[in-house]
Structure 1
Amino acid sequence: MVRTAARSDDGETRDGGPARTPAALARLRGRAAASLPDRLRRVRAGGGLAVQAGLAAGLAWWVADDLLHIPQPLFAPISAVVALAASVGQRIRRTVELIVGVSVGVLIGDALIYLVGTGVWQLGLIVVLSIVVSVLLGGGPSVMVQAGATAVLIGTLSPVVENLEFPRFLAALVGGAVSLVVTAVLLPLHPLRVINRAATPALCLLADQLDTAADALRRRDASAAQGALDRLRDNKQEIAALTEAAQAAREATALSPVRWGSRQGPVGRYARAAEPIDRAMRNSGTLIRRAVTLIEEGEPIPETLPTAVSALAEATRLLRQEFAAGHEPDKAQERALQAVAGAGEAYRTGVGFSGSVVVAQVRTTTSDLFVASGVAQEEANRLVRHAFGPFEPD
């Protein structure tokens, strides 16, 4: 006897069967549509790397095969793509590691094959010793991987492919060199665009959570302030992306002749801003944490205190905008000093212990933003002290 699932009045089966399928499909389509813009942004961000990798692979093969007539030129395009696959900002280091790893693998593999021959246990011994030697030389994971992989190739292909050692090394050298030529001369990154793309999420995160904290102070909403603190602490992805982009900007301006002139301009200033922005994040975290305590303990909140925190948020947004446009961050600096002045007024009006810490962190974060904008630390501190005013009321 075939049983049919009972249906409720709205047409759904009680066991959650087929009647729910259209709703589930609708939700799935909604999620897919919502993620489409993010996927397209990722495609645009990775499109440049894809073109660089394709050009480097083709050019490396042409140089190794047609110009230098290297046997087994497959290693050249592989090396070019491996070097390009490194995080932007680390390609010079990855290329050097690639060559060092290949050299170690070739040296150990060739020496052991000569001494103990080939076979299963010999192959294992070659790989072990290649990795151990690369560690002794101070190599990182990339060097160890390249040394081990090259040792495998030498140990398995040398018996059937004569004189593989030097071509393998030369092909790796060609691939690494071609990857640098592509990134430095043929298709160089636009450093300002790269670092702006990475800095935007970090600076927006900081500004948004400062705004949330200011609103929480006005409403004495400790839970909202705690939420801002939790979100600001979860900043590893944004900070890592900013640090990597700063490395990429430095690398691009060092390698590419067309970018040399920007090393001391907006790109250089922007690249140097990664560390003080990270400090501003941490100091703002202390600010918001003390704001939570201030609210929970019922300390006085002068009207100018949340206003000062809001001004600090606006200064952060202005810094991002002026950085992106390649302008001097004058407006951001002016707004940051207004935040310090407001914090000074709040302090002289009267705050409790946690309130005084919030005031101090407005000063410290402002100093961080000044350093991020290219001002020396001593000058930033002097400007902050001047804007804060006297500690005692007039």
Structure 2
Amino acid sequence: MDAQQSLDRALQRGRTSVRARLARLRTNGWHIAQCSAAAGVAWFLAADVLGHPMPFFAPVAAVLCLGTSYGQRLRRVVEVTVGVAVGVFIADLFVLLFGSGAWQLAFVVAASMSVAFLLDAGRLFVTQAAVQSIVVTALVAEPGAAFIRWTDALVGGAVAIVAATVVPRAPLRRPREQAAVVVRKIAALLRGASEVMVDGDVDRALSLLADARTTDVLIRELQDASDEGLSVVASSPFRLRHRGGIRRMAEIVEPLDLALRNTRVLVRRAAVAAHRREPVPRGYSILCADLADAADLVAKELSSNRMAVHAQPALLEVARGSSQVERGTDLSGEVILAQVRSIVADLLRITGMGVIESSDAIPPAPR
């Protein structure tokens, strides 16, 4: 039986791994296409337009410069472009004057990195300057073709800068999609806690608590998606009209973080109550289930690329219910009720309410 369960878990992990890899490929499909197209364009410009016989550095520079995430992408593309150009230029000049060899390579690397640091460059800039100087020094150019490689590097960098301003819609959708993932997780945890309050299953409660404690990564991914979206609208002139929507999504990261934290506290208290056999009022379980349904509505709105205004009535209904429910006497139950009310306030902020407005929307708790 144990062997069968282990095999089933292994197969499930395998299927999950394949799905995750395919999802990663789909997510990066645009970046792959962008780099390959930029490499081809850079080669075409250097070879067919400028007539360079072997423009190796044009596609290399283009791919190197585009090999960054969307976050701060345009700045990094420019940084790497200049770094590549500096390294190639210094190496070409030195090899032209002193030839190629071990001491020449060491000197060129030191000179390229020193110039990069003098230009107040970032570490990426300095590294690219060093790497390109090594390649140029090791691969001696044909007579009369030394500075052609520097020109090729500039061509590749210029193509990369233009390509970096053309971004897909995916980074603009990701903040809403990731926010919906977070809210759906909140709903699932609330629904699980509601069931634990009814059946008191300790093993199930501990499993739910372990699941809740792994959710920090969801907020980090949401923050990364928000930062990426802001960077895209800042760097691409073609996406400026999306700036307002992306900024609004960035503003809901904090309330979502608070809602998830409060949900973890609620799940922990539900697990404690199950472990200690403390009775939890039936009304608290119903409130958690209703709040889970309201959270699903919020997630649905976010997935549909809308602010979750239409989920407000459901959240306000849960808020009213929390002020009318019959109170318990144990500490765990009181913590659960307090967390339900806090989560409602956090989710109301996602529907467009301010901090004070969302707090005022929750009636006083019953005495």
TM-score by length of 2: 0.78
- Distance change (3 Å), C-alpha of 1:392 and 1:275: closer
Q: CA-to-partner distance for each residue in 1:276-300, whole Å, 9 max, x for gaps?
A: 3233222322222222223333444
Please tell me whether residue 380 in structure 1 is matched to residue 358 in structure 2: yes
Q: Is the 8 A contact 1:367 1:381 kept in 2?
A: yes
Q: CA-to-partner distance for each residue in 1:243-289, whole Å, 9 max, x for gaps?
A: 33223332343444553333224x54334433432332223222222
AA aligned to 1:55 is A
Please tell me whether residue 241 in structure 1 is matched to residue 241 in structure 2: no
State the alpha-carbon separation in 2 of the partners of residues 345 and 208 from structure 1.
24
Tell me what 1:55 maps to. 37
State the alpha-carbon separation in 1 of the partners of residues 253 and 114 from structure 2.
36
Q: Is the 8 A contact 1:276 1:371 kept in 2?
A: yes
State the alpha-carbon separation in 2 of the partners of residues 365 and 134 from structure 1.
50
State the alpha-carbon separation in 1 of the partners of residues 71 and 269 from structure 2.
37
Displacement after TM superposition at 1:57 (Å): 2.2
SS in 2 for 1:335: helix
- Name the stretch that deviates more: 36-45 or 279-288: 36-45
Please tell me whether residue 358 in structure 1 is matched to residue 358 in structure 2: no
Please tell me whether residue 325 in structure 1 is matched to residue 307 in structure 2: no
Q: CA-to-partner distance for each residue in 1:336-387, whole Å, 9 max, x for gaps?
A: 33333344445x613433333333332333333233344333333333xxx2
RMSD of the TM alignment (CA)? 3.9
AA aligned to 1:167 is T
Please tell me whether residue 170 in structure 1 is matched to residue 150 in structure 2: no
Please tell me whether residue 99 in structure 1 is matched to residue 78 in structure 2: no
SS in 1 for 2:318: helix
- Distance change (3 Å), C-alpha of 1:152 and 1:45: same
Displacement after TM superposition at 1:42 (Å): 4.3
- Name the stretch that deviates more: 91-100 or 123-132: 123-132
State the alpha-carbon separation in 2 of the partners of residues 381 and 33 from structure 1.
44
Tell me what 1:279 maps to. 258
Q: CA-to-partner distance for each residue in 1:103-133, whole Å, 9 max, x for gaps?
A: 5645775798799975324534544675577
Aligned counterpart for 1:156 among listed residues 133, 138, 146: 138
AA aligned to 1:247 is D
Residue pairs, 1:134-213, within 5 angstroms: 142-157=124-139, 162-163=146-147, 166-167=150-151, 170-183=154-167, 188-213=168-193
SS in 2 for 1:88: coil
Displacement after TM superposition at 1:52 (Å): 2.4
SS in 2 for 1:87: coil
Structure 1: give runs of 5+ residues left out of the alignment: 1-23
- Distance change (3 Å), C-alpha of 1:78 and 1:110: closer
- Distance change (3 Å), C-alpha of 1:251 and 1:32: same
State the alpha-carbon separation in 2 of the partners of residues 328 and 286 from structure 1.
26
Displacement after TM superposition at 1:37 (Å): 5.6
SS in 2 for 1:182: coil
State the alpha-carbon separation in 1 of the partners of residues 123 and 56 from structure 2.
23
Structure scoring higher RCO (CA < 8 A, sep ≥ 6) equals 2
Q: Is the 8 A contact 1:83 1:91 kept in 2?
A: no
Displacement after TM superposition at 1:140 (Å): 5.4
- Distance change (3 Å), C-alpha of 1:194 and 1:115: same
- Distance change (3 Å), C-alpha of 1:291 and 1:180: same
AA aligned to 1:178 is V
State the percentage of identical aligned residues: 33
Displacement after TM superposition at 1:134 (Å): 5.7
Please tell me whether residue 305 in structure 1 is matched to residue 284 in structure 2: yes
- Distance change (3 Å), C-alpha of 1:225 and 1:251: same
State the alpha-carbon separation in 1 of the partners of residues 303 and 313 from structure 2.
18
Displacement after TM superposition at 1:234 (Å): 1.8
SS in 1 for 2:28: helix
State the alpha-carbon separation in 2 of the partners of residues 320 and 212 from structure 1.
17
AA aligned to 1:155 is T
Q: Is the 8 A contact 1:191 1:253 kept in 2?
A: no
Please tell me whether residue 262 in structure 1 is matched to residue 242 in structure 2: yes
Tell me what 2:63 maps to. 81
